[in-house]
Amino acid sequence: MKTNLNFRVEAADEDVVVTLDGTSCMVRYCRTDTGLNLFHVRGDERAPIHDVHFLARARQLANAKAKELGWIV
């Protein structure tokens, strides 16, 4: 059975936060001169996705948001 995962990506100040709807999964990246750096991670053992897969997808989404905002090229 395939689960539909809904990620939320928000940018504020110098941060990009990615969350997974319906879970406690959250990752925060901070903007630096060299790109985005991981700042904080919160997992959820009940989430329908493994932490490693959540982090990989969150990184992709955060980078896309940072490019959209002109933070990185």
Q: What is the pLDDT of residues 23-55, one digit of tens each?
A: 999 999 999 998 999 999 999 999 999 999 999
Name the residue range of residue 34's domain: 7-68
Judge whether 9 and 21 are in contact, CB under 8 Å.
Answer: no
Within-domain flag for 58: yes
pLDDT of residue 1: 44
Within-domain flag for 73: no
Describe the chain by its helix, strand, coil percentages, rounded to 5: 25, 35, 40
pLDDT of residue 21: 96
Within-domain flag for 23: yes
